């Protein structure tokens, strides 16, 4: 382009790394061509030189990021070379950091870039992609405020005295959920108080040109005198591929320190600049020596400071499963060099909330963990529930977040803790663990039957009882360590209380517990029978009954399991009058031979009911 066209040339590249590599490759420029770099990291003097008109008889070659699209005006540019790429900040929720991601530039950006070649005279724009691909480019760049982590924005607004950024006249309002997440993150970092005021630590974080989580890491590391290592950790986490892509950050750090490429050296210089901003300046020799001998333990400490919720302990012998302080479970490739570690300071994860994959971490000693986070270790009184026995073994454990450090029997258990453990045991393993007796089970079955015919009746089915578990079971657990110690009578009373007075009356009316035969005998109705509510009753006790007994206000016939005097089944009926007028004659004929001492009348519907033999009745 320089040889084919006159005037100065502006090349759009995605980032500083590409600018540096391109500048290194352009070692043989035509005479009179002066190379300039233009990006947000250069000092003002270099920026002014890049923007100024070239000296008489010379031309400029400016390698720039997208900052040159609209933010500045370059003199005498007549040729633009557009890579078609841009580096934009994207908040990676799995990593918990905002990273610069290389993406295709939008059509609007491509048009803006091409226009830089024709500000003062006709120019040429060279696009490094096929023209047909232009239509597939996104029309516009998405507003950064809708996608980025808003922690820095919120912290800046709070420092200005504005507690609600949404009140500011943004073209696109910040999403409320993202603002709430940012507020919570700043509170966890100790940057703001409960009332939203910025703390001194928050002011220190705001002075560091990094997103708050990494800035917090550098500020804390400065107090511990390992700011250089913390700054290097920050660079490792924000520059993709630096030192390789191994999950072991210590391995990546060693490779980076040994790397003599321009990119690696630029990254080391960046780390030094960040470190200098938060600590007293050292001589170059001291700084280089500190960087070369930086403690791997300091690297792990730095990561733990930035991501305390991801601090994890191994859960199995293979090193595949890990438990984090924040409660999430992580997975690690068991062939990783980190798999033998007991503790990891985890920086990056990817995947679902349960079983997210560890992308980068550093091994950390338990002693360092307890030294750094000992003030967060608490004692938890809980109990292990045994589903086989339905009992709770009270324990006392020291915990760091969700990680149990040590456990011992609790000689003085908290009654509320035991009660909650029993409740959770029932919630997890089901109501079958409770000491139901036959009467209570029948009550539940009766209520469920009645509920089918009157929606106002409270259901006593498993799902309904589990949903309302906190309303009826806790009083029964007072002073108990075993579910089997619950009084079955109290259990039945608790269910009757759920039904209420009116509900119980309706259940009694729609689903009576007993059937009163014409002979005066009373028989329990089985509401869990396969064929619906069923009662077993001798044939002689039903004499004189001309209408079939009904339930649910006359809507459902009661199934009669009619038996002989010896209690053996002779007929099942849901229509007693039809039985009397139909097959009864054959049944009676057969039964007279078997049970001659008992009455078997020709017309049972009008006969006298009895529970006695013929001789006893006479």
Per-residue pLDDT tens digits for 439-457: 999 999 999 999 999 989 9
- Residue whose entry in the numeric block shows the structure tokens 């999950």: 247
DSSP for 338-402, written as a single string? TTT-SEEEEEEEES-SSSEEEEEEEE--HHHHHHHHGGGEEEEEEEEEETTTTEEEEEEEEEETT
Q: Are residues 17 and 127 in the same domain?
A: yes
* Residue 175 φ/ψ, nearest 5 degrees: -60, 130
The pLDDT assigned to 410 comes to 86
The pLDDT assigned to 178 comes to 87
Tokens standing for residue 149: 């982590």
CA atoms of 158 and 187, how far apart (whole Å): 12
Chain mean pLDDT for the chain: 88
Per-residue pLDDT tens digits for 240-262: 778 888 999 999 999 999 999 88
CA atoms of 105 and 65, how far apart (whole Å): 12
The three-state secondary structure class of 31 is: coil
> Could you tell me if residue 110 is inside a domain?
yes
Contact criterion met (CB below 8 Å) for 90 and 61: no
Beta bridge partners of 396: 381, 408
Tokens standing for residue 356: 């997210």
Position 287 pLDDT exceeds 50: no
> Could you tell me if residue 73 is inside a domain?
yes
Position 281 pLDDT exceeds 60: no
> Could you tell me if residue 286 is inside a domain?
no
Contacts of 374 (CB under 8 A, 6+ apart): none
Per-residue pLDDT tens digits for 204-213: 999 988 889 9
Query: Could you tell me the pLDDT band of residue 291, with boundaries at 50, 70 and 90?
Result: very low
CA atoms of 371 and 375, how far apart (whole Å): 9
> Could you tell me if residue 266 is inside a domain?
no
Overall average pLDDT of the 152-171 stretch: 91
> Could you tell me if residue 401 is inside a domain?
yes
Q: Are residues 506 and 459 in the same domain?
A: yes
Count Cα neighbours of 176 within 13 Å in the Cβ-side half-sphere.
0
* Top-confidence residue, 602 or 88: 602
Overall average pLDDT of the 116-140 stretch: 84
Opening angle at CA 615, ends 612 and 618, nearest 5: 90
Overall average pLDDT of the 214-225 stretch: 90
Burial (Cβ within 10 Å: 0-12, 13-18, ≥19) of residue 403: buried
Position 41 pLDDT exceeds 90: no
Min mean pLDDT across 145-154, 250-259, 478-487, 528-537 is at 145-154
The pLDDT assigned to 350 comes to 77
The three-state secondary structure class of 140 is: coil
Position 290 pLDDT exceeds 70: no
Contacts of 400 (CB under 8 A, 6+ apart): 311, 325, 369, 373, 376, 377
CA atoms of 465 and 471, how far apart (whole Å): 9
Query: CB atoms < 10 A from the CB of 120, how many?
Result: 13
Contact criterion met (CB below 8 Å) for 565 and 595: yes
Q: Which of 235, 373, 363 is nearest to 305 (CA)?
A: 373
Query: Could you tell me the pLDDT band of residue 99, with boundaries at 50, 70 and 90?
Result: low
> Could you tell me if residue 293 is inside a domain?
no
Q: Are residues 385 and 497 in the same domain?
A: no
pTM: predicted TM-score of the whole model, two decimal places: 0.56
Contacts of 107 (CB under 8 A, 6+ apart): 134, 137, 138, 139, 140
CA atoms of 277 and 204, how far apart (whole Å): 11
Q: Are residues 133 and 12 in the same domain?
A: yes
Opening angle at CA 71, ends 123 and 273, nearest 5: 120
Domain final residue pick, 116, 142, 168:
142
- SS3 readout for 445-484: HHHHHHHCCCCCCCCCCHHHHHHCHHHHCHHHHCCCCEHH
CA atoms of 219 and 121, how far apart (whole Å): 50
Query: Which CATH number do you get for residue 90?
Result: 3.40.50.300
Q: Are residues 491 and 555 in the same domain?
A: no
Position 298 pLDDT exceeds 60: yes
Overall average pLDDT of the 470-484 stretch: 94
The pLDDT assigned to 95 comes to 56
Q: Are residues 409 and 501 in the same domain?
A: no
Count Cα neighbours of 194 within 13 Å in the Cβ-side half-sphere.
0
Contact criterion met (CB below 8 Å) for 98 and 238: no
Per-residue pLDDT tens digits for 344-389: 999 988 766 567 889 899 999 999 999 999 999 998 888 889 999 9
Q: Are residues 27 and 97 in the same domain?
A: yes
- The domain total for the chain is 5
Domain carrying residue 64: 8-142
Contact criterion met (CB below 8 Å) for 324 and 261: no
Burial (Cβ within 10 Å: 0-12, 13-18, ≥19) of residue 26: middle
> Could you tell me if residue 99 is inside a domain?
yes
Helices 249-258 & 296-306 angle (0-180, nearest 10):
120
> Could you tell me if residue 121 is inside a domain?
yes
Position 102 pLDDT exceeds 90: no
Domain final residue pick, 117, 142, 167:
142
- SS3 readout for 406-447: EEEECCCCCHHHHHHHHHHHHHHHCHHHCCCCHHHHHHHHHH
* Top-confidence residue, 58 or 558: 558
Q: Are residues 340 and 410 in the same domain?
A: no
Domain final residue pick, 364, 386, 401:
364
Per-residue pLDDT tens digits for 386-435: 999 999 988 888 999 999 999 888 888 888 889 999 999 999 999 999 99
Task: Find the DSSP H helices in 483-561.
Answer: 488-510
Mean pLDDT: which of 68-72, 112-116, 568-572 is highest? 568-572
CA atoms of 149 and 367, how far apart (whole Å): 33
Which H/E stretch holds residue 100?
A: strand 97-104
Q: Are residues 450 and 488 in the same domain?
A: yes
Per-residue pLDDT tens digits for 503-561: 999 999 999 999 999 999 999 999 988 889 999 999 999 999 999 999 999 999 999 99
CA atoms of 392 and 231, how far apart (whole Å): 49
Q: Are residues 13 and 109 in the same domain?
A: yes
Q: Are residues 572 and 523 in the same domain?
A: yes
Question: Percent of the chain at pLDDT above 90?
Answer: 58
Q: Are residues 438 and 414 in the same domain?
A: no
Burial (Cβ within 10 Å: 0-12, 13-18, ≥19) of residue 411: exposed
């Amino acid at each position: 382009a320089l040889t084919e066209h006159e005037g100065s040339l502006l090349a759009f590249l995605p980032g500083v790394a590409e600018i540096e590599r391109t500048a290194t490759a352009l070692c043989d420029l035509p005479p009179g061509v002066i190379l300039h770099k233009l990006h947000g990291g250069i000092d003002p003097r270099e920026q002014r030189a890049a923007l100024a008109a070239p000296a008489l008889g010379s031309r400029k070659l400016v390698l720039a990021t997208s900052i040159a699209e609209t933010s500045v005006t370059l003199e005498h540019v007549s040729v633009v070379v557009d890579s078609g790429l841009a580096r934009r900040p994207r908040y990676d929720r799995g990593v918990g950091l905002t990273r610069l991601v290389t993406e295709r530039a939008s059509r609007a950006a491509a048009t803006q870039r091409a226009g830089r070649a024709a500000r003062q005279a006709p120019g040429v724009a060279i696009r490094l992609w096929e023209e047909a691909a232009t239509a597939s480019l996104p029309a516009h760049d998405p507003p950064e405020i809708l996608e980025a982590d808003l922690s820095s924005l919120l912290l800046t607004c709070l420092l200005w005295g504005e507690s609600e950024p949404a009140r500011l006249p943004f073209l696109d309002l910040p999403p409320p959920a993202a603002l709430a997440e940012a507020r919570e993150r700043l509170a966890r970092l100790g940057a703001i108080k409960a009332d939203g005021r910025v703390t001194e630590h928050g002011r220190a974080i705001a002075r560091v040109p990094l997103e708050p989580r990494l800035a917090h890491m550098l500020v804390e590391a400065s107090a511990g005198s390992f700011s250089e290592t913390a700054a290097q950790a920050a660079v490792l986490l924000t520059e993709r591929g630096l030192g390789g892509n191994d999950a072991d950050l210590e391995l990546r750090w060693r490779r980076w320190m040994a790397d003599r490429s321009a990119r690696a050296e630029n990254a080391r210089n960046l780390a030094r600049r960040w470190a200098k901003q938060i600590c007293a300046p050292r001589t170059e020799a001291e700084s280089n020596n500190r960087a070369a001998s930086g403690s791997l333990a300091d690297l792990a400490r730095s990561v733990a400071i930035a991501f305390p919720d991801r601090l994890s302990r191994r859960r199995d012998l293979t090193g595949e499963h890990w438990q984090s302080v924040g409660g999430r479970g992580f997975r690690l490739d068991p062939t990783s060099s980190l798999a033998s570690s007991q503790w990891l300071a985890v920086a990056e994860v990817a995947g679902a909330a349960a079983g997210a994959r560890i992308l980068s971490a550093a091994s950390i000693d338990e002693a360092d963990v307890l030294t750094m986070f000992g003030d967060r270790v608490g004692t938890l009184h809980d109990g292990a529930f045994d589903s086989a026995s339905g009992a709770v073994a009270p324990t006392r454990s020291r915990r760091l977040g969700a990680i149990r450090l040590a456990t011992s029997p609790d000689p003085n258990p908290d009654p509320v803790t035991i009660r909650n453990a029993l409740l959770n045991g029932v919630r997890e393993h089901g109501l079958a663990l409770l000491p139901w007796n036959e009467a209570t089970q029948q009550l539940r079955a009766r209520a469920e039957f009645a509920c089918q015919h009157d929606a106002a009746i409270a259901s006593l089915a498993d799902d309904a009882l589990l949903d309302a578990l906190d309303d009826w079971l806790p009083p029964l657990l007072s002073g108990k360590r075993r579910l089997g110690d619950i009084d079955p009578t109290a259990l039945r009373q608790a269910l009757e209380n759920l039904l209420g007075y009116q509900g119980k009356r309706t259940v009694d009316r729609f689903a009576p517990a007993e059937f009163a035969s014409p002979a005066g005998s009373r028989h329990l109705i089985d509401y869990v029978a396969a064929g619906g509510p069923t009662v077993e009753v001798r044939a002689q006790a039903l004499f004189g009954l001309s209408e079939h007994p009904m339930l649910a206000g006359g809507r459902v016939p009661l199934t009669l399991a009619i038996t002989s005097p010896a209690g053996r089944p002779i007929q099942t009926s849901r229509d007693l009058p039809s039985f009397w007028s139909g097959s009864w004659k054959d049944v009676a004929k057969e039964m007279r031979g078997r049970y001659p001492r008992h009455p078997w009348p020709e017309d049972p519907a009008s006969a006298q009911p009895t529970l006695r033999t013929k001789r006893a009745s006479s």
